[in-house]
Amino acid sequence: MGAQLRVYRQRIKAAQTTKKITRAMELISASRIAKAQARVAASGPYSRAVTRAVSAVATYSNVDHILTTEPEKVTRAAVVLFTSDRGLAGAFSTNIIRESGELVAKLQSEGKEVVYYTVGRKAAAYFTFRRRASEQIWTGDTERPEFSRAQEIGSALVEKFVQPESEGGVNEIHIVYNRFVNSVTQIPEVIRLLPLELIEDDESADGQAFPSYEFEPDVENVLDALLPVYIESRIFNAMLQSAAAEHAARQTAMHSASDNADKLIKDYTRLANNARQSEITQQISEIVGGADALSSAG
């Protein structure tokens, strides 16, 4: 077998093996999207109830609470990045890192110091490589987030938020995550968690304003209790969305990888056929040439 032909055959083999892997990953991701989406939907009632309650309290109370009041001067802001643990998901993590870069540039131009919190091994690796400090890193369960992890992240953030500025506390919390729109679209979202930006969606959706609630024991206590609950629920929602988006991004990426492998196999098969044919042609002409030489010599 000719050297060139052997090289082409090797390439075809390699592309075929890769295709098997990418096809398997594509199918796995496809099956997990539905599950991840179901979890997003299942957590919906909780986050809706929490958001509604927080909006209701914030709208109908004039108390000065850390949750709702805008600080006069923001010196430090926390940015939480939700990336994935594993790669091979297209621009999933890169998008988050790019979006957060824009956000950080904006915050810094406003004179705010930025404190990073990262979720997922991809962000952790990015930060370590660039020797950028991250206040806290959570890795290991971006594909199937548990509520306990959201609680952990939430309490770390709330602790930082209620800390006085002089001791390193932050005045703002931003989160950057991929929102799952459908299996081909995932949009990186940048949201300011705290201080609270009131979302008017609920009111318009229900067609009725919030009633003037009675609070038990009192407004301050209710707000105190709701603060961590709200943060946790938003973070949990971000984690679930991000997990669903990750599977979707991986499915898309692996689908195009399989398609590319198919194309490579096709191209190399053509080249290999060509090489084989020209090898045969060459052999024939060598034999004919040799026979001619022998007969003319004899």
According to CB under 8 A, which one of 130, 205, 216, 298 is a site residue for another protein? 216
Mapping DSSP to helix (H, G, I), strand (E, B) and coil, where does residue 114 land?
strand
Binding status of residue 221 toward another protein by CB under 8 A: yes
Nearer to another protein, 127 or 213 (CB): 213
Q: Give DSSP secondary structure letters for 58-76.
A: HHS-----TTTPPPSS--E
CB of 222 to another protein, least distance (A): 6
Contact 186, 178 (CB under 8 A): yes
Residue with tokens 């991986």: 250
Closer CB to another protein, 66 or 114, in the complex? 66
H/E element, 188? strand 185-194
Pick 150 or 157: Cβ nearer another protein? 150
Interface stretch with another protein, choices 93-101, 156-164, 207-215, 280-288 (CB under 8 A): 207-215
Shortest Cβ 132–another protein spacing (Å): 32
Q: What residue type is assigned to position 64 of the chain? A: D
Residue (of 97, 176, 174) closest to 129 by Cα position:
97
Confirm or reject binding of residue 157 to another protein (CB under 8 A).
Answer: no
What is each CA distance from 169 to 2, 54, 94, 109, 113, in whole angstroms?
70, 23, 28, 20, 11
Stretch that binds another protein, among 3-11, 130-138, 206-214, 282-290 (CB under 8 A): 206-214
Kindly tell me which residue out of 91, 203, 215, 260 binds another protein, with binding defined by CB under 8 A.
215
32 binds another protein (CB under 8 A): no
- Among 226, 231, 238, 257, indicate the residue that binds another protein (CB under 8 A): 226
Binding flag, residue 222, another protein (CB under 8 A)? yes
Any bridge partners for residue 138, and if so which?
A: 119
- Applying CB under 8 A, which of residues 164, 207, 217, 298 lies at the interface with another protein? 217
Minimum CB–partner distance for residue 195 and another protein (Å) = 20
Buried-exposed string 132-171: b where 16+ CB fall within 10 A, e elsewhere: eebbbbbbeebbebebebbbebbebbbebbeeeeeeebbb
Q: What is the DSSP letter of 170?
A: -
The site that binds another protein (CB under 8 A) totals a number of residues, namely 31
Q: Does 238 bind another protein (CB under 8 A)?
A: no
Which CB atom, from 64 or from 214, has the smaller least distance to another protein?
A: 214
> Among residues 216, 194, 251, which one has the least CA distance to residue 35?
251
A 10 A CB-CB count for 269 gives 15
Strand partners, 115: 78
**Residues in 59-118 that interact with another protein by CB under 8 A:** none
User: H-helix or E-strand containing 174?
Assistant: strand 172-182
Q: Are 154 and 163 in contact (CB under 8 A)?
A: no
Among 81, 150, 227, 245, binds another protein (CB under 8 A): 150
Site for another protein, rule CB under 8 A? 39, 42-43, 45-46, 49-50, 52-53, 56-57, 147, 150-151, 208, 210-217, 221-222, 225-226, 229, 232-233, 236
